[in-house]
Amino acid sequence: MLGRGLKRKLSDYEESMAGLSSAFDSSRSLPYPLKRQLVLNMCLTKLQTYKMLVEPNLHRSVLIANTVRQIQEEMRQESSQQPVNICPGIAPASHSYTGMESPGIPLQLPSGVEDISPPTCLVPTGDDQPKFPENTGLKLEDDRQDLKGAECVFGSFEISNSTSYLKDLAIDDIFEDIDTSMYDSDFCCPPLMPPRSPSLATEEPLKTFPSCNSSSANNIQICRTDLSELDHIMEILVGS
């Protein structure tokens, strides 16, 4: 979710996506994981767009969800064979949040590996697979949701972890590394700085907090509140 004042240009997004998919089609040199990531991003973006429709197309949603599932399964198998890396390696995980917070954010893939959604790059849980944010809204007891179809399709993703995931982590740990200004809600903060490739080891993110109303000393406090609000915001987003 972007802070106030930063406009996301849809046309730029479309152009960059078009450029990416052409690159996918024409380039044989794009590494497979990158291609896979691109496709996954496109899928998630589409699903996010469909979510905003009153009546998503069930057929398309099913096809896209199956594609996502297939990619995630592949990633799952791969990562179960490899030791888990923190962040840069787990680019997929990051994009679930990207998809959630802002459909259509330009996904600068080559640099996307060092993505800007730090919370997800954190300590991997046992299940480090990309979460499907939409699923938090899949309270399938609701028949109305049932009939909407698209959302219900994604039931197999273990999304229920995502909200509790953040609560479990020690907040201090998070704030050592992370720039969570992205997750500030409207009434809290500020225009964002353009996302920087975070280097997790540095303390810099704290300093790069954009013009918060409060002083930098209060940043940590603010961010603590932010985090609990993050859950709230997520619920609003996916529940809407």
Residues that bind other proteins (CB under 8 A): 17-18, 20-22, 24-26, 35-36, 38-39, 42, 54-55, 58-60, 62-67, 70-71, 138, 140, 144, 146-147, 149, 152-156
Nearer to other proteins, 107 or 223 (CB): 107
Nearer to other proteins, 58 or 206 (CB): 58
Residue 67's closest CA among 159, 160, 162, 157?
157
Which tokens in the block code for residue 39? 């496709």
Nearer to other proteins, 30 or 230 (CB): 30
- Min. distance of Cβ 49 from other proteins in angstroms? 10
Residue 3's closest CA among 222, 235, 239, 240?
222
- Min. distance of Cβ 1 from other proteins in angstroms? 24
- Phi, psi at residue 151, to the nearest 5°? -65, -35
Nearer to other proteins, 29 or 213 (CB): 29
- Min. distance of Cβ 151 from other proteins in angstroms? 9
3, 180 Cβ separation under 8 angstroms: no
Which tokens in the block code for residue 115? 């993505």
- Min. distance of Cβ 219 from other proteins in angstroms? 39
Residue 222 Cα distances to 19, 179, 216, 219, angstroms: 39, 12, 10, 5
- Min. distance of Cβ 232 from other proteins in angstroms? 24
Nearer to other proteins, 37 or 219 (CB): 37
The CA-based angle 223-227-233, given to 5 degrees, is 125
